[in-house]
Amino acid sequence: MAVPSSDNRGPCYWCFKTVKWIPVVFIVTIVAWSYYAYVIQLCLITVETPAKKVIYLVFFHFFFFMFCWSYWQTIFTDIGRVPSKYKIPDADFEAYMNHSESFETQNTILDTFARHLPITNVTIKGGVRFCEKCKVIKPDRAHHCSVCGVCVLKMDHHCPWINNCVSFTNYKFFVLFLGYALAYCAYVSLTSLPYFISFWRGDLEGMGRFHILFLFFVAIMFGVSLMSLFGYHCYLVCENRTTLEAFRPPSFRGARADKYGFHIGRYKNFKEVFGDDPKTWFIPISTSLGDGIEYPVHSRHQQSSYHSTDSTQNRLE
């Protein structure tokens, strides 16, 4: 998780930092209540058959555990930081700022420093991608997050529901979180449906029936929302594209913007996020390929990097 600079950490900073956790606390509260409503009110009190109670609870705790594990990993995995070798010297930065009216001069300064870095992406104008706030040459697919206050490797977006950036380091966890959250909602809604129907028929008694009523509605509501979001990110994984790249395709050196620039085949695209070992694909542990700095690119862009592309080509073999 991003930790902003220690400069100017006054009361406002800590207040803002606390407020950012409100969406996470809201989600945790809903999940904790759903656990009580399902385990206590539905399974232990309402469900009558012991065998059905056991089956319901076993599968419920599997989905609940995988969902919570994925959510934890998504929140508390530190975002990928740009290595120090991408930071330009103070003298070069001062020269860069002194020529703010000349794009050509500024780009020449950056171009000279970036010549030995493995980058293929450029700006829309064809210049070197540079962050004035972090004073770094941006690696491919990296972007500056205004909320985290740093440049993030393979930034997808900043998500308030996890109080963290979705990036190279936790993208697999984020997709699994969406998938297991959807499975959790689907399981809860399907298994509580018969008791929801009994509620409307007037067959359920006691205050616990209202927990079951709201449990069903909440599961359906979140499930519908998660369905579209999970489906969209499955599409992005197959296309080897981030949310930011879906809105603005990356530009490559010597070529125009290309939304398929990192597309290397859907199966290989999938393995870029989930890794080579099928046994770990659906477990929220780090198995993504690469280092977050260099990425295999489409064959038409393989010779566009300053740096030797040997390592990238080897990954494609």
Whether 148 is catalytic is no
Q: How far apart are CA 265 and CA 243, in angstroms?
A: 18
Q: How far apart are CA 144 and CA 136, in angstroms?
A: 10
Q: How far apart are CA 54 and CA 316, in angstroms?
A: 48
Cα-Cα-Cα-Cα torsion 228, 234, 145, 248, nearest 10 degrees, comes to -90
For 5, the 3-state DSSP assignment is coil
Question: Could you tell me the two tokens for 296?
Answer: 């295999």
In the chain, what is the straight-line distance between the N-terminal and C-terminal CA atoms, in Å? 34
Question: Per this entry, what is the length of the chain?
Answer: 317
DSSP state for residue 128 in the 8-state scheme: P
Instruction: Indicate the residue type of 281.
Output: W
Catalytic residue among 68, 148, 151, 159: 159
Decide: 1 and 163 in contact? Cβ < 8 Å: yes
Angle at which helix 266-274 crosses helix 208-239, to 10 degrees, equals 120
Q: How far apart are CA 159 and CA 123, in angstroms?
A: 25
- Annotated active-site positions, please? 159
